[in-house]
Chains A and B, each alone.
Chain A
Amino acid sequence: MAHRYIKITLTASVLVLAFTGMLWSTLREGTEYYKNVDEVLPQAQQWTGKQMQLHGYVVPKSIKRRRDASGNITLDYIFKVQNNPARASDPGNVVDASYNGIVPDTFKDEAEVVLKGKLTPDGFKTDPNGVMAKCPSKYEAAEKSALAGT
């Protein structure tokens, strides 16, 4: 019997070790920090270049689209994101952000956003499809869609 238990224990520990090892290695590249603007900006140096999800609010009237040489509008967006909601008395830290692509319907002034991407010396560079926005005024509606998705 003892022989059998040793075998089982050995197999189990090898499996667990292999699994943990794989999990560890994939988690290191698979995870991203989830940070608020205020947590990142004061130590901008330290966070530069790290993959993260940045949470904040779009600064009102800051969304602009670049035009190309012939004056036609493009999919390049630049905008600013602040730490606190737009109606708060103090906006908190503000960061410049850029994005190329289609933005969600809910991406607009004052919207609560989560941006996937990296902080660079020129501001926050958002990944393709990296803009997630919550609707600013219609909290109820947003909650409903969450429920229905269950």
Chain B
Amino acid sequence: MASLGSALLLATFVVCSYAAVASVAGARRRSRRLVESGIGAFYLIAALMAAGSAVMINAFLTNDYSIKYVAHYSDSVQPLFYKITSYWGGLDGSIMFWVFLLSIFGSTAVYVNRERHRELIPYVIATISVVQMFFLYLMIVHKNPFTTYLRAAPAEGEGLNPLLQNVYMAIHPPSLYTGFVGMTIPFAFGIAALITGHLDDSWLRAVRRWTMFSWLFLSFGLTLGMIWAYEELGWGGYWAWDPVENAGLLPWFTATAFLHSVMVQERRSMLRVWNVTLVIVTFFLTIFGTFMTRSGVVQSVHAFGDDPILAKLFTGFMIAILVFSFSLVIWRLPLLKARNELDSWLSREAAFMVNNWILLFAALFVLFGTMFPTLSEAVTGERLTVAGAFFNKWMAPVGLVLLLLTGTGPLLAWRRSSLRNLADSFVWPVAAGVAAGAGALAFRIPIWPSGLCFALCGFVVGTVVQEFWRGARVRRKNTGTDLLTALVGLVGRNKRRYGGYIVHVGIVLIFFGFAGNAKKLDEQVLLRVGQEAKIGRYTIRNNGIKVSDDGQKQMTTAYLAVFADGKEIDGLYPARWAYRRHEQEPTTEVAIRRTPAEDLYAVLGGFDLADQSATLQLVVNPLVNWIWVGFGVMAIGTGIALLPERSFAFALAKMPAEAVTTTVALLLLLLVAGARPASAQPGMGGSEDTRSSYYARTPFEKQMQHEIVCTCGACGHQTLAECRKDNCSTSHQMRGELAAMIDQGKNHDEIIQSFLAKYGTEEMLGAPVDKGFNRMAWLFPYLIGATSAIAVGFVAVKWTRRHEPDAAAAAPLDQAIDERIDDELRDLD
């Protein structure tokens, strides 16, 4: 299998070079056939990489430890899910995964644009192929993931690091890679536009969505990384300005800048050089980030592998990118001349320009801080480092200015704002900001930087609400529907703009969460059994330490009672888990009591079983959950902005007015209903020892615990293995029965039968018995999914299709209204 994998990589390299050469040659000789063959070869790359990935995943699933990479990053007891995610768990595999993603994205982009941007496609293919060739070359000569042991292969793998056996860590890297890799597509189109000289705005239209899509995944990846650091690493924070984190942040800044400046070019034909530059810089930073984290140039708490060969290869590639891209830009400067000049500093384009400068400054600054130790060593011979406080000091004002611009930009008109309309549009947002600031002062929050941050949050929310309100009011007047329908119609007609505003709300929530840091409390205490410690409004009591074992790991758990205002309000159970074969690296299991206002966060730093004493880090993190909520809002906004142009608008036009109101009301009801079970959980009764009861002693018992569901009715049908986390006496009892039956030597079916007999229904089975009619239950969700997908597709196609005869009759009226609305909306701009 390993040789098949290596052969596939080699074949991909060859096909890549063919795709690059054939498409460029085809374009220069104007040979359609040659270009077509280049496109074909380009699709073939995706197929080959998919096959290579299949070989790799197959090796993980079949525990093929003759391949070094598989032996390093998995073992036979690892759950199926983590065996698959081990594919990108290490350096070699992550590079391969990178190429795989790039081939898929590249093929999609070429397929979608092959007619509309025919003249660009050959060079797009060539650019992406060359990038792929670089990474394939890395793999083939230096880091082949299919390298095998020349002598005896180990019988068992080393296993994935326990810290990474975590759902966030499984999704975080692919999400971040998707963001990184996706940025190659805009770069390829930019280069193609430069080479061909087709430098009008058409290439921007082709890449706008790709940039938004990659930006969304980049944000998602960064957020997941923060959540992982917060919940898994256990130091009480989520961002430490570590080089690895900064590497992901750099392209995020420049991509954000690009998403804004692209609007200036579309609207005013300005900033054309700037936009091309931003695309190049963003791509460069994705490569630079990869280089920084993989080659050992930067020292980090995350121990990096030193890899001088990799560093040299990457350096060469990066220099090549910069020299090639910027030579093209300089060569094409005459074509890139702006058609307009800035009319006034009180205009939206000026606000966008300032926003861009600041984002770029942020990127450069973070880059400078990250590379500072390396730079200082190179210049002075002394290795100096900068601490997180240094970043915070600089980035706090930068962030606040950006937040201010988020609120200001939409209020300014394009070209020039008159003083009168300034006063008109600023009154309410400023009032909202002042109110929020006053509220913050009332809570005794220091003005700098948190109080100011709260005020600006209020200002931006004021702006967004006002924009929605004004737009909806105009639309209601024009279409004569109710306000809600008008609102949905407004968003549907101008998805990018209003989607963008929703993203801004998400940003505000994230800043709101950051501002909570001002009131963060952090204490380290040593508590003997029965002792108490105070933090904020909470009192924590150590009720003792227990050790349990579930076969895969040994768990040491501290039982803490939480008091507030003299009443016991909750329990916290921070733990340390020592996995088999990783006993030297125990993982810290943080206990978090989440509320919208603040998190109470406890880490078990150390313990002494003899006197039941626990060393604890206690943290109160105000408002931290709003960061995650903010990302959710941002994702929704980006999703709206990404929706296809036509179908949605048509669908909206056909929808009766009341339908929207009803749908939104129903959705809200569903949301409220869906949120309820989560808050019902803490009500469960039972004693503390139920939590540590009956850990599975054998794999069989573990399997059974996963098949049977707790019937307490309060946990939302968790399995017996899961319900343990909550204080539930029913699951305790059921686990006891199960253990007794296993001790009696009953087999799987007998146990299921007796549980069925006792609890009556099949409700207690984690999954329906897989036979007869019950199979329908397995099929059902898929059936529903498939049917609705087909239905939605059908309706969308139907709505999007133009009915020629109908159109003739309806067109004049529709068009008149459309034009009027457009005019009104333009006035609002």
Contacts and interface: CB of A to CB of B under 8 A. Distances in A.
B160 A144 contact: yes
Contacts of A30: 386-387, 389-390, 393
Contacts of A101: 524
Interface in A93-150: 101-103, 105-106, 114, 116, 128-129, 132, 134-135, 137-150
Contacts of A103: 605-606
A7 to B, nearest CB: 13
A30 to B, nearest CB: 3
B386 A72 contact: no
Given A72-B528, A101-B524, A141-B585, A32 B613 contact: no
Interface residues of A, number: 39
Contacts of A73: 526, 608, 613
A24 interface: no
B139 to A, nearest CB: 15
B383 interface: yes
Contacts of A116: 387
A108 B225 CA distance: 27
Interface in B562-592: 576, 582, 584-588
B73 A144 contact: yes
A32 B387 contact: yes
A31 to B, nearest CB: 5
Interface stretch (B243-251, B321-329, B503-511, B711-719): B243-251
A46 B706 CA distance: 63
Contacts of B299: 34
A150 B373 contact: no
A93 B91 CA distance: 36
Nearest to B164: A148
A65 to B, nearest CB: 9
Given A142-B303, A146-B244, A147-B294, A105 B94 contact: no
A143 B584 contact: no
Contacts of A132: 301
B585 A143 contact: no
A132 B389 CA distance: 17
A145 B163 CA distance: 7
Chain B interface, DSSP helix/strand/loop, else mixed:
mixed
Nearest to A31: B384
B310 to A, nearest CB: 12
Interface string A17-51: 00000000011001111110000000000000000
B161 A145 contact: yes
B164 A102 contact: no
B286 to A, nearest CB: 11
Contacts of A144: 73, 89-90, 160-161, 164
A124 B290 CA distance: 36
B303 A149 contact: no
B584 A147 contact: no
A134 B301 CA distance: 8
A140 B158 contact: yes
Contacts of B301: 114, 132
Contacts of B801: none
Most buried by B among A105, A106, A149: A149
B606 A102 contact: yes
B276 interface: no
Interface string B609-638: 001010111000000000000000000000
Interface in B29-88: 72-73
B302 A142 contact: yes
Interface residues of B, number: 65
Contacts of A33: 382-385
A147 B94 contact: yes
A33 B163 CA distance: 31
B520 to A, nearest CB: 13
Interface stretch (B168-176, B196-204, B545-553): B168-176
Given A142-B302, A147-B90, A149-B245, A102 B161 contact: no
A31 B584 CA distance: 33
Contacts of A106: 585
A30 B225 CA distance: 26
B394 interface: yes
B235 interface: yes
A33 B384 CA distance: 4
A74 B526 contact: yes
A20 B401 CA distance: 19
A74 B615 CA distance: 9
B613 A105 contact: no
B682 interface: no
Given A138-B585, A149-B244, A150-B176, A143 B305 contact: yes
Interface string B522-556: 00101010000000000000000000000000000
B211 interface: no
Contacts of A145: 161, 163-164, 302
Most buried by A among B235, B301, B394: B301
Contact of A75 (B289, B394, B615): B615
Contact of A102 (B390, B613, B615): B615
A21 to B, nearest CB: 13
B164 to A, nearest CB: 5
Contacts of B615: 75, 102
Contacts of B376: 31
Contacts of B582: 138, 141
Given A30-B387, A31-B385, A103-B605, A148 B528 contact: no
Interface string B645-675: 0000000000000000000000000000000
A78 B386 CA distance: 26
Contact of A150 (B161, B247, B394, B611): B247
Nearest to A129: B235
Nearest to B608: A73
B482 interface: no
A139 B303 contact: yes
B618 to A, nearest CB: 11
Contacts of A137: 584
B91 A147 contact: yes
A26 B302 contact: no
A30 B376 CA distance: 14
B478 interface: no
Most buried by B among A30, A53, A129, A150: A150
A131 to B, nearest CB: 11
Contacts of A32: 384-387
Contacts of A72: 526, 528, 611, 613
A103 B524 CA distance: 11
B485 interface: no
Contacts of A149: 225, 242, 244-245, 293, 302
6 interchain residue pairs of minimum CB distance: A102-B605, A30-B390, A146-B302, A142-B303, A34-B383, A149-B244
24 contacts: A30-B389, A30-B390, A30-B393, A33-B383, A72-B611, A73-B613, A105-B588, A135-B303, A138-B584, A141-B582, A142-B303, A143-B305, A144-B89, A144-B90, A146-B244, A146-B302, A146-B303, A147-B94, A148-B89, A148-B173, A150-B173, A150-B176, A150-B289, A150-B290
Interface of B: 72-73, 89-91, 94, 158, 160-161, 163-164, 169, 172-173, 176, 225, 235, 242, 244-245, 247-248, 289-290, 293-294, 299-305, 372-373, 376, 382-387, 389-390, 393-394, 524, 526, 528, 576, 582, 584-588, 603, 605-606, 608, 611, 613, 615-617
Interface of A: 26-27, 30-35, 53, 72-75, 101-103, 105-106, 114, 116, 128-129, 132, 134-135, 137-150
Given A144-B161, A150-B176, A150-B244, 17 more contacts: A27-B386, A30-B387, A32-B385, A33-B383, A72-B613, A73-B613, A74-B526, A75-B526, A128-B524, A135-B584, A138-B582, A138-B585, A139-B305, A148-B161, A148-B164, A149-B293, A150-B173
